[in-house]
Structure 1
Amino acid sequence: MRIPGLLLMLLFATGAQASAERYIQLSMHMVKILAAAPDGRINSGTGVQLDARHVITNCHVVGRAQNVIVARGSTGVPAQARSVDTRHDLCLLSIAQPMARPVEVSSSRTLKIGDEVHAMGFSGGKALSMSVGKVTALHEMDNAAVIETDAQFQQGASGGALFDSEGRLVGVLTFFIPGMKRHFAVPTEWMQAGLDNAQDVEMPVAATAPPFWAAAEADKPFFLRAIQHENDQEWDRLQAVTQEWVEAEPRNGAAIEAAVRASRLPPR
């Protein structure tokens, strides 16, 4: 009678060890971003070491900071902005020396719904945390896929990493919808233009456009408008935007699926 209990304890211990090993492995790629605002406040976020000289993070983490520090543990080095894509919310920073181990990068196109992923960042601005989840949706946008996951993260993890099951970077943690517990990472494909055209950018960085997820209603992608109306239980608006989505992209399966779902919901 004791054997099943012992087996359960062994399985639990093995699983905990594997999780701890994965945490250690993935944490080697992570850095903390400290951005000094003009009023003296320090905004903190997360970054990922791409190569020996470059770190990727969200532009909303850097904000209007004149000085940015890339830190790991008790050590930090000044960072310089090298490319700014405020629409996609991706800022590339350069540092004089690597603070973490460069990460292997993969494409959002390698993912499928149901794949296991790990979200890692400084949630709450404190200790580096990791959560495990699945890919719950892949939203087509600008020749890549915005990744939706149930691997949770909090404020402070912005700019952090979404890793696939092989430990490769597939997305950058960017935003979430608290009411629906839906979490989103922007695809690694969007980083390439910044890497290809990197050059020093004057700080504070200029916001040429708001992030797509924080833009005005008309400037948000259809999938995000539909999700937001569903979150707010605005059924009439949800049905209207999904119909508009189908008319604009009649071959988009996600648009058709959203419209069918919206048609079955009660009007407000």
Structure 2
Amino acid sequence: MKSIVMMLCLVGATPMAYAQPDMVDTLELSHSVVMVTTDLPDGSTGRGSGVVVSPEYVATNCHVLANSNGVNVAKFRDGYHPIGLKANWKRDVCLLKFEALPFRPIPMRDSSTLQYEEEVFSLSFPAAAPVPQPSYGTIKGTYAYDGGRIVRSDASFSMGSSGGALFDQHFNLIGLTTFKSPGHHAFYYSLPVEWIRELMDTDDVLSLKTAELPFWAQPPGERPYFMQVVIPYQNQDWATLKNIASRWAAQEPGSADAWYFLGLAQEGLLEFAQAEQDLKQAYALNPRDLDAMLALSRIAFTQNDVETLQSLQAGVATLDKTQGDRISQQITRLKTTHHSSSD
């Protein structure tokens, strides 16, 4: 497969609880997720994933097929050859057109309706697996970009997963699994379905050849801020993170994530008063921002601020019971310590 690549590595509402899908559900959905194979110029075969989005179209990532000599899709040992191609190379969304496909199209859900911490799962063909493989997680961020929202989740994927499907708990397609950050604790990004819909109304392209890079593979300084913050965050380079996040918050003051990363950098620099202020701004913009709440709870605990911990505990527990229990234990510990010192 053309590798899933990113950065330096080319490769509130009341929440509703759902159980992640069982094997029967994923097996049924897997009929609509196909393997995409390409003939590469060096004579080898590339592999990626694709999703059936209409009776005649399979959506995938353009970087899976860019500059190859040919492409087809495979399912149940059968091959299907496209008769046309629609491509937006910069967005990295391509549609392979077929006469008719014997697979059920997947319904799509707009990225603007997604909520942080909502449970999701992906299906794709990592490492050329013979059948689609599931991965489970939650939405960790959505980022406005070029008329849609890039979706970050912690449902992991690897080489071969490019062009795979990210689903919500109602089995709607909510994104194409596309790129990830380097590092041990990778960030996983999917492209919005709005871009798929828009592409259906464009003209076919006549060639698989292109010199245009996808937006996420641009030089580091030209990438969206939500990508620029990742490496300094992973490296705990708080000064660089503060610089980037400050520019992000100035450009997009309505972005909760911009304020979260700015507050996180200030926490790392021990600028606790300013960190608390900016993290509260993130929380105000997005009451489901679990990461911002956890950062606020860390600062509150270090400052023996029981009142703030108590105000955060219920909201955290609603999204993550384990973290909610941890904050309850911290509250008990601080109250016990304060009581003992009073005696």
Indicate whether the TM-score tops 0.5: yes
SS of the counterpart of 2:127? helix
Of the structure 1 ranges 217-226 and 242-251, higher mean CA displacement relative to structure 2 is found in: 242-251
* Cα distance between partner residues in 2 of 1:70 and 1:92: 12
Question: Aligned pair count?
Answer: 250
Q: Secondary structure at the match of 1:132?
A: strand
Distance 1:189 1:34 in 2: 25
Q: Which residue of 1 aligns with 2:106?
A: 103
Q: What 5-or-longer segments of structure 2 have no aligned partner?
A: 1-18, 271-343
1:130 Cα deviation from its structure 2 partner: 0.6
1:247-267: CA deviations, max 9, x gaps? 222333322222121122249
* Conserved 8 A contact 1:84-1:90: yes
1:184 aligns with 2:189: yes
Question: What's the CA shift for 1:109?
Answer: 1.7
Question: Relative to structure 1, is the Cα distance of residues 76 and 253 closer, same or farther in structure 2, using a 3 angstrom cutoff?
Answer: same
Does the 8 Å contact 1:119/1:151 carry over to 2? Answer: yes
Identify which of 119, 144, 151 aligns with 2:155.
151
Structure 1: which amino acid aligns with 2:93? L
Quote how far apart the aligned CAs of 1:99 are.
4.7
Offset of residue 146 of structure 1: 1.1
SS in 1 for 2:121: strand
> Which amino acid in structure 1 is aligned with residue 28 of structure 2?
Q
Which residue matches 1:254? Answer: 257
One-letter amino acid of the structure 2 residue matched with residue 156 of structure 1: G
Alignment of 1:42-191 (within 5 A): 42-127=45-130, 128-179=132-183, 180-191=185-196
1:156-194 deviation digits (Å, cap 9, x = unpaired): 011000011000101000011242232111111111221
In 2, Cα distance between equivalents of 1:80 and 1:91 = 13
Pairwise CA distance, 1:81: 4.6
TM-score by length of 2: 0.69
Cα distance in 2 between the residues matched to 1:104 and 1:170: 9
Which one has a larger percent helix, Structure 1 or Structure 2?
A: 2
Tell me the CA shift for residue 79 of structure 1.
Answer: 1.9
Code of the residue aligned with 2:233 in structure 1: it is E
**Is the Cα contact below 8 Å between 2:241 and 2:261 reproduced in 1?**
no
Taking only aligned residues, the RMSD between alpha carbons, in angstroms, comes to 1.9
- Unpaired runs of 5+ in structure 1? 1-14
Whether 1:196 aligns to 2:213 is no
Give the CA deviation at 1:233: 3.5
Alpha-carbon deviations, 1:93-149, whole Å to 9, x = none?
A: 112221522111111122101111110000112231011211111122223221111
Give 1:110's aligned amino acid.
Answer: T
Whole-angstrom CA distance in 1 between matches of 2:167 and 2:256: 26
What is the identity, as a one-letter code, of the residue corresponding to 1:65? S
Q: Check whether the contact 1:121–1:161 (CA below 8 A) recurs between aligned residues.
A: yes
Determine which structure has the larger strand proportion and give its number.
Answer: 1
Task: State the Cα distance separating 1:80 from its structure 2 match.
Answer: 4.3
Could you say which residue in structure 1 is the equivalent of 2:210?
Answer: 206
Greater C-alpha radius of gyration: 2
The equivalent residue for 1:35 is 38
Structure 1 contact 67–203 (Cα < 8 Å) conserved = no
Letter in 2 for 1:19: D
CA distance in 2, matches of 1:91, 1:220: 21
Report the identity percentage. Answer: 29
Kindly provide the CA deviation profile for residues 49-76 of structure 1, in whole angstroms up to 9, marking residues without a partner as x: 1111111000111121121011112111
SS in structure 2 of the partner of residue 101 of structure 1: coil
Partners of 2:123 and 2:22 in 1: how far apart? Answer: 13
Structure 2: distance between partners of 1:84 and 1:263: 42
